[in-house]
């Protein structure tokens, strides 16, 4: 089988540690990849004055797929987020973040199996901030019918493809009547379109504040959550907390022509370089990439390999999960677990 070209973006902070772990696990699952390494993030900005160099964008456009580590974005000033630019420049309009209880790591919140579908290109991330008078700043929230319809239809298509039963649109249309009202209207129309096509995915909606309360009290009532960009960002971290932390939650960014797979966590500067970052979220993101590349066998094999480790001795896990392991030793255990799984047809 010929190797698939995939762009490898190590990113900043713990990025190089967790992406390297994911790369090794993919190799153990017999996924033949020709990795094309490119710069991105704070390191790229410091090296060449651009957090998202043109060569990186060009390589992803050429390959169509990238595995990405987190990138650091300065707070309150400095360069524009490489993530936001990447998602906008490649029109990666859908951010899919499955939030599922990891076997052996059940929490007091019960069995969780949610999928967050987040609009990825607009909202308050449009970068339209202006100081209109000294001490007065406006930050413009952009919601368009085109993007809202696209992400809503994506959510229903995704739910149908993956055998999910319900989509819940999350909004604040009682306050942002026009912006969130438009988003909700597009979600309703996508639901009607799905039903008219014979689909069986049900639809409802919830205010974002009520959602947060309901997620921590009874997450089992939700299936696929459809959110605008900012709500999706915040609710993703909340949901990751429900299953045991940011080190466990993977993700993928999908556009019409490209897809970029990355964990939902950031560059974790507080633990960078210590060798203790949890690589599981990045490894599961790599599994999602395998599925996208037409290797559902590798997707399943990697997930089973991870589960074989998380079900076992907790000491091998990283400190965020109460273990004594390192990024590398946990990745080694997962590689062994993956190799022990029978290769699937």
Asked whether position 118 contacts ligand NAI by CB under 6 A, the answer is no
DSSP 79: S
CB of 72 to ligand NAI, least distance (A): 4
**DSSP output for 105-166:** ---TT---EEEEEEE-S-BGGG--EEEEETTEEEE--B--HHHHHHHHHHHHHHHHHTT--E
Q: Which of 155, 259, 271, 290 binds ligand NAI (CB under 6 A)?
A: 271
Among 133, 270, 342, 345, binds ligand NAI (CB under 6 A): 270
Query: What is the footprint of ligand NAI within residues 62-91 (CB under 6 A)?
Result: 70-73, 83
Instruction: Give the count of beta carbons closer than 10 Å to the beta carbon of residue 109.
Output: 18
Nearest distance, CB of residue 173 and ligand NAI, angstroms:
27
* 231 is an active site residue: no
Region of 24-32, 95-103, 152-160, 263-271 interacting with ligand NAI (CB under 6 A): 263-271
Catalytic site residue 192? no
Q: Do 67 and 295 contact (CB within 8 A), yes or no? A: no
Catalytic residue among 209, 256, 257, 313: 209
34 is catalytic: no
The alpha carbon of 68 is separated from its chain's Cα centroid by a whole number of angstroms, namely 10
Site string for ligand NAI, 192-231 (x = CB under 6 A): ----------------------------------------
Beta bridge partners of 98: 115
Beta-carbon count within 10 A of 274 CB = 13
Cα–Cα distance, 185 to 181 (Å, whole number): 6
Q: Which is nearer to ligand NAI, 79 or 109 (CB)?
A: 79
On whether the CB atoms of residues 101 and 112 are closer than 8 A, the answer is yes
Structure token pair of residue 159: 């739910």
Q: Site mask, ligand NAI, residues 272-311, x = CB under 6 A?
A: -----xx--x------------------------------
Q: Angle at which helices 54-63 and 82-89 pack, to 10 degrees?
A: 40
80 secondary structure, DSSP code? P
Catalytic residue among 231, 233, 254, 332: 233
- Fill in the per-residue mask, 17 to 56: x = in contact with ligand NAI (CB under 6 A), - = not in contact: -x--------------------------------------
The 3-state DSSP class for residue 203 equals strand
Active site annotation includes 299: no
| Catalytic annotation, residues | 125, 172, 209, 233
User: Interface with ligand NAI by CB under 6 A: which residues?
Assistant: 14, 18, 70-73, 83, 246-247, 262, 265-271, 277-278, 281, 320
């Amino acid at each position: 089988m010929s190797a698939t070209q995939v762009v490898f973006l190590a990113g900043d902070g713990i990025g190089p540690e967790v992406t390297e772990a994911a790369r090794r696990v993919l190799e153990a699952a017999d996924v033949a990849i020709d990795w094309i390494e490119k710069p991105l993030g704070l390191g790229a900005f410091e090296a060449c004055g651009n957090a998202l160099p043109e060569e990186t964008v060009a390589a992803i456009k050429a390959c169509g797929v990238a595995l990405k580590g987190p990138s650091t974005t300065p707070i309150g000033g400095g360069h524009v987020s490489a993530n936001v630019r990447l998602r906008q420049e490649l029109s990666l309009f859908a951010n899919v973040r499955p939030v599922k209880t990891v076997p052996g790591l059940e929490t007091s919140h019960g069995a969780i199996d949610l999928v967050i579908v987040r609009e990825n290109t607009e909202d308050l991330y449009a970068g339209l901030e202006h100081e209109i008078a000294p001490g007065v700043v406006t930050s413009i929230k952009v919601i368009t019918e085109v993007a809202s319809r696209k992400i809503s239809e994506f959510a229903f298509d995704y739910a149908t493809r993956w055998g999910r039963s319900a989509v819940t649109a999350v909004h604040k249309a009682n306050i942002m009547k026009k912006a969130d009202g438009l988003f909700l209207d597009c979600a309703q129309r996508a639901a009607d379109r799905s039903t008219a096509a014979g689909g069986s995915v049900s639809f409802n909606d919830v205010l974002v504040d009520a959602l947060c309360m309901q997620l921590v009290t009874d997450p089992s009532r939700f299936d696929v959550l459809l959110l605008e960009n900012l709500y999706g960002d915040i609710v993703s971290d909340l949901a990751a907390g429900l299953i045991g932390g940011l080190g466990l939650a993977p993700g993928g960014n999908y556009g019409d022509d490209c897809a970029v797979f990355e964990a939902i966590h950031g560059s974790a500067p507080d633990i960078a370089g210590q060798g203790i970052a949890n690589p599981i979220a990045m490894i599961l993101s790599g599994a999602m990439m395998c599925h996208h590349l037409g290797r559902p066998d590798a997707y399943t094999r990697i997930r089973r390999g991870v589960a074989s480790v998380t079900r076992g001795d907790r000491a091998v896990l990283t400190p965020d999960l109460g273990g004594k392991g390192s990024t590398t030793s946990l990745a080694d255990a997962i590689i062994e677990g993956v190799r022990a799984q029978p290769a699937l047809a």
